[in-house]
Structure 1
């Protein structure tokens, strides 16, 4: 069977996607699969690389340049052939969209693959869109009864028409420090910690340079705990892992230097807290129609309060990533994890086809 590995993309997490794709190529079982890399450049060009029958040695080889004959080389730039999504003939194959950020894990790529009628790894359109949008996900989870850190959503039109009212609303319902976030970006891009009104104004303006909707969130002193999910109708959980932070705020630069982040697996948490987190994760994943994989991020305060921060529907796969490390601690190596994801994709595709043929 062939795996179409879709990676890159037109967003700030382009390089992270390349690293994830390289990790998948290093771990996938080539005795069962061949891998056809499809690279989306930062300018939006789709390039099809040479089919792989063994792992590459360097992630830089995945940065394809357009040419007439696809080939990989460690000595110079690798070449890919331009291709349009609709021209791809995908039979007896699965697409693995190991992509992060906007126009990638936010439902756009998933919608394209759904329209093409091909099986693909990971969550569907709805779950991907909800997971990527901080405002929609918080409202949905709050309606489900899952505790959320207090927040104020801000629309660009509201800010332009009456900034003072927006500031008053934030200060009337939240306490400093606050966090200001673009509604639909990852890796802490455009996120600011603020401690007064002047900083709040500047941070909202900065966030609007990235997105048309902004989230202002109450700051909490808490541990950052993460759980891995795998499955669809039946979910499997990992043990909890903790991101050990030197400060209470890990910005975009720190997340880009991910090798410097310290992870503790398993996290030292009481059993009843783990059970509560698993319950919240299961409820949230069900209401957003999740299927495949996710990393659920929680805040845990010193008082034992648990808040669901976000659900990441396409977590990183490289050597620094929490998600594969959590499963490794559960006895599931990266090759077996990828195999389970492929089989879940085929299972969902078969189920969807059966529903369509009623």
Structure 2
């Protein structure tokens, strides 16, 4: 009997369109002879659209989308009532970036329903998407990172001047302002003075009620891909040649002009320490399945962890699959297979744990 793969994508997130691009590549890489592949599109308003089983490869991204007049609760109820039959082997592949997909919320739903799924669990997803929580945890493990501070919307509305002074005293200019819980460079701005800081904070609060402000680090942006559960492995280091001051949303997903260099232009010694640090970061926030660790590396060969992505992009331009192909020859399709197996293994491990008190 074939295994059912439910690919869930879209979502109520500003990274909705990135999710579609990732899902397109994931779906077309899956072996249609080995799996029953079901498409599940979540609209920008959160409605679940069950598009049914796919038997051939997709020709364009538009095939991934649909519309519905149903409510979120009724659409989710309909989807669950029709799928995950008792005698079938099924797993969910969530290709959801950002809020309600990469933040532990949908993972919590799968946990409650005891449904196997690919990727990180509730804790690691929630910690990984919140840059403040992530950096606080990394501080405990002495992971090298930029100086940072954070503030919440209420604090800023109550006393703007104090927030600006806090940034200037602790971080200074130039600095970067970011929403705490978004990826794909959405809502991020570089600030060289207080006027720019004010505008950047206003924009960042459009996307989150908590923001982070970091010092600017001058260096090359590099990435390492990590896969595994209990025994994670780190890829070689990769970097992008970039024309812009930082890789914003357009640079990553629209222009298509980023040129990856794999392996990165680094000494073997620095590369190995960075790979060890990536695995340490993976373990610190209790990851499973996969994570991408992003770095800044200065001209003096000092490296700093910028952030982690617990559900990194799988688009045609994404670094994660490219890193593994250059590391050990793992193809895109083989990487997807590995992640599915890791998902089933983690589900089996969780189900081996008692949920009731053991009676002697």
Same fold (TM over 0.5): yes
**Alignment partner, residue 205 of structure 1:** 202
| TM-score between the two structures when normalised by the length of structure 1 | 0.93
**Alignment partner, residue 89 of structure 1:** 83
What do the CA deviations read for 1:160-215 (whole angstroms, capped 9, x no partner)? Answer: 22221221111112131100001111111111101011111121122112211111
Q: Distance in 1 between matches of 2:314 and 2:198?
A: 36
**Alignment partner, residue 308 of structure 1:** 305
Q: Cα offset for 1:66?
A: 3.9
1:270 aligns to 2:272 (yes or no)? no
**Alignment partner, residue 350 of structure 1:** 348
| Structure 1 residue runs without a partner (length 5+) | 69-80
1:37 aligns to 2:39 (yes or no)? yes
1:240 aligns to 2:234 (yes or no)? no
Of 9, 12, 22, which aligns to 1:10? 12
Alignment of 1:175-254 (within 5 A): 175-254=172-251
**Alignment partner, residue 78 of structure 1:** none
Describe the shift of the 1:239–1:344 C-alpha distance in structure 2 as closer, same or farther (beyond 3 A).
same
Structure 1 residue ranges (4+ consecutive) displaced by more than 3 angstroms after TM superposition: 65-68
Q: Cα offset for 1:88?
A: 4.5
Q: Distance in 2 between matches of 1:97 and 1:88?
A: 18
Q: Distance in 1 between matches of 2:27 and 2:148?
A: 40
| Structure 2 residue runs without a partner (length 5+) | none
**Alignment partner, residue 339 of structure 2:** 341
Of the structure 1 ranges 83-92 and 219-228, higher mean CA displacement relative to structure 2 is found in: 83-92
Q: Does the 8 A contact of 2:40 with 2:52 survive in 1?
A: no
1:155 aligns to 2:152 (yes or no)? yes
Aligned length: 346
1:141 aligns to 2:138 (yes or no)? yes
**Alignment partner, residue 77 of structure 1:** none
Q: Cα offset for 1:83?
A: 4.8
Q: Cα offset for 1:82?
A: 4.7
What do the CA deviations read for 1:59-116 (whole angstroms, capped 9, x no partner)? Answer: 2111123499xxxxxxxxxxxx955254253141000001101111111111111111
Q: Does the 8 A contact of 2:234 with 2:279 survive in 1?
A: no
Q: Per the alignment, in what secondary structure is the counterpart of residue 54 of structure 2?
A: coil
Q: Distance in 1 between matches of 2:191 and 2:5?
A: 45
Q: Distance in 1 between matches of 2:147 and 2:183?
A: 20
**Alignment partner, residue 115 of structure 2:** 118
**Alignment partner, residue 23 of structure 1:** 25
Q: Per the alignment, in what secondary structure is the counterpart of residue 233 of structure 1?
A: coil
